[in-house]
Chains A and B, each alone.
Chain A
Amino acid sequence: QKEVEQNSGPLSVPEGAIASLNCTYSDRGSQSFFWYRQYSGKSPELIMSIYSNGDKEDGRFTAQLNKASQYVSLLIRDSQPSDSATYLCAALTNNDMRFGAGTRLTVKP
């Protein structure tokens, strides 16, 4: 089974706070990992990708990967109301891309 699991939330943080989103995956053969943001009624859009253990930073976003623990996370610093969306974690195993159920984030002004 190639499962990707996320806390469904909802997660609510005040504006300016750090939002922390977590994801675990079951297939140790998974090579690459992705965080997508999805606004209601829209298609997913890529936020971050990561394939090496450690941290990867891009602006206010930091992705963390721990392959030994099969764990991926996304930190959003200085959260803005515009960050309110559902965040989907995905794992790529060979050519098979699987998604978690998503975590709904609300950033309150």
Chain B
Amino acid sequence: NAGVTQTPKFRILKIGQSMTLQCAQDMNHNYMYWYRQDPGMGLKLIYYSVGAGITDKGEVPNGYNVSRSTTEDFPLRLELAAPSQTSVYFCASRPWTGGIDEQFFGPGTRLTVL
């Protein structure tokens, strides 16, 4: 299993550009999450999904959009990039077994908006 994969690893955007951060998992997990992590800070939840076709907002959803058309993929869309969106973005997935279920993280995408 590849686990959680994210592309690209690095990206530089100009103000006002748009892009999609890709996230995929091959573990058949129901739950998927997008976080951003600013330097020296913890993880802030942007959006999450409990299954295909179902998404919900987290703490900091403004400026982002998501979709979940399949169990495997959970892309994050940035429209009209702003310098405040410079951050490291982590995607994570979690199974649902009824117990304490660990989140598995992808390697992250480092985004700079200039």
Co-assembled chains A and B:
yes
A46 touches B45 (CB 8 A): no
B100 touches A101 (CB 8 A): no
Contact residues, B9-58 vs A (CB, 8 A):
31, 33, 35, 41-45, 48, 50, 56, 58
Specify the main secondary structure of chain A where it touches its partner.
strand
> CB-nearest residue of chain B relative to A102?
B42
**Contact indicator per residue, chain A 30-69, by CB within 8 Å of chain B (1) or not (0):** 0010100000001111100111000000000000000000
A97 touches B42 (CB 8 A): no
B7 to chain A, nearest CB (A): 14
Contact partners of A2 in chain B: CB under 8 A: 59
B43 touches A44 (CB 8 A): yes
B42 touches A32 (CB 8 A): no
Question: What is the count of residue pairs linking A and B with beta-carbon distances less than 8 angstroms?
Answer: 53
A43 touches B106 (CB 8 A): yes
**How far is A99 from B107 in the complex, measured between Cα atoms in Å?**
17
Contact partners of A32 in chain B: CB under 8 A: 100
B33 to chain A, nearest CB (A): 6
**How far is A104 from B33 in the complex, measured between Cα atoms in Å?**
24
**How far is A6 from B108 in the complex, measured between Cα atoms in Å?**
23
B42 touches A49 (CB 8 A): no
Question: Quick one: which of A6, A44, A90 has the most chain B CB within 10 A?
Answer: A44
B69 close to A (CB within 8 Å): no
Contact partners of B90 in chain A: CB under 8 A: 43-44
